[in-house]
Amino acid sequence: MYVLVTARMKTELREQLQGQYPDVTFAFKYPIQEAVPHLPKADVIITYGEDLTNDHIEKAENLKWIMVVSAGLDQMPFEKIVEKDILVTNARGIHTIQMSEYVIGMLLNVYRNIPAYRENQKQHVWDRTIKIEEITGRTMLVVGTGAIGQETARLAKAFNMKTIGVSRTGEFKDHFDKCYKNEEIERLLPEADFVINVLPWTDATESFFTMKHFDLMSEEAVFLNMGRGTTVVEADLIDALKQEKIRHAILDVFEEEPLDENSPLWELNNCTITPHNSAITKNYMPRALAIFKKNMNQFLKGGQPSVNVIDPKRGY
């Protein structure tokens, strides 16, 4: 068994894999250019998902399974994967803690006006008139009620928030007071203090949020996007912020990444930017590899990996 790893991985994690599976050959090759000569031998590829192309899949003539150590799959060459009938699994569920904490932390950052205090500290200014507010008792609308959305709602309940979920099916999920289908979102937006977007990229979610949605939000609403940048029409969001249609935007993802240095978003005082790292902590890769190991144990016994299996025709 030959496992090709194109994801960057710490030495201690590499050694753990090699120690746990002594009869498996692991080739750690990063970036993807170093991995290309090894593709024909690979039975399994461990990847972040954004480095593989149709050409790579074509060259991997023995490939049976791709483990994507992230949840996002929007850059995967699914057409060729379907053609070659390759199994795909991902790391769905490992981001729940980091990303739900990101939401609460960033909302507190806005409501407690932390940037103003930091600036005053730099200037040695003592000013007790800075306005601060409470997030307790507010209404949170979470768009995307998967594992991350549910954990976000659970933490919101610690602040006695009303939690509303929106998803494709509208199926009720834990920690939400009520859940609705995507097409019902327009009537829900006006009551939300916080709109949290956790949508993945699919054909159905591309450009999901437009000016129409920002117009419907309260002028005091905070919009947070940690799903995918392509689910928001960025030009509409920029206009909404410039016109102060909403209070603030917290953005971890963008239509194009890295965010262009000339983007108007950098200069907007009512926008907070982070570089698509809301899920990146030291626990990220160990959690992803725990899923890989469960599937690998099944695979080595001649079975089919069963944890987080992806439908490549749907892309999730």
Catalytic residue annotation: 228, 257, 276
* DSSP secondary structure code for residue 209 in this structure: B
Q: Taking CA 97 as the corner, what is the angle to CA 93 and CA 102, rounded to the nearest 5 degrees?
A: 120
Give the dihedral sign, CA 264/267/270/274: positive
Q: How far apart are CA 270 and CA 259, in angstroms?
A: 17
What span, in angstroms and rounded, lies between the C-alpha atoms of 62 and 185? 45
Query: Edge-to-edge strands of the sheet including 65-68?
Result: 25-28, 2-5, 44-47, 65-68, 87-90
Kindly state the tokens that stand for 44.
């399994």
Assign residue 124 a region: left if phi > 0, alpha if psi is -120 to 50, beta otherwise?
left
> In whole angstroms, what is the distance from residue 76 CA to residue 91 CA?
14
Identify the helix (H) or strand (E) that includes residue 118: helix 114-123
Residue 141 CA, distance from chain mean position: 17
Alpha helix segments (H runs only) across 112-249: 114-123, 147-157, 185-188, 211-216, 234-242
Tally of helices (H runs) and strands (E runs) in the chain? 11, 12
Length of the chain as a residue count: 316
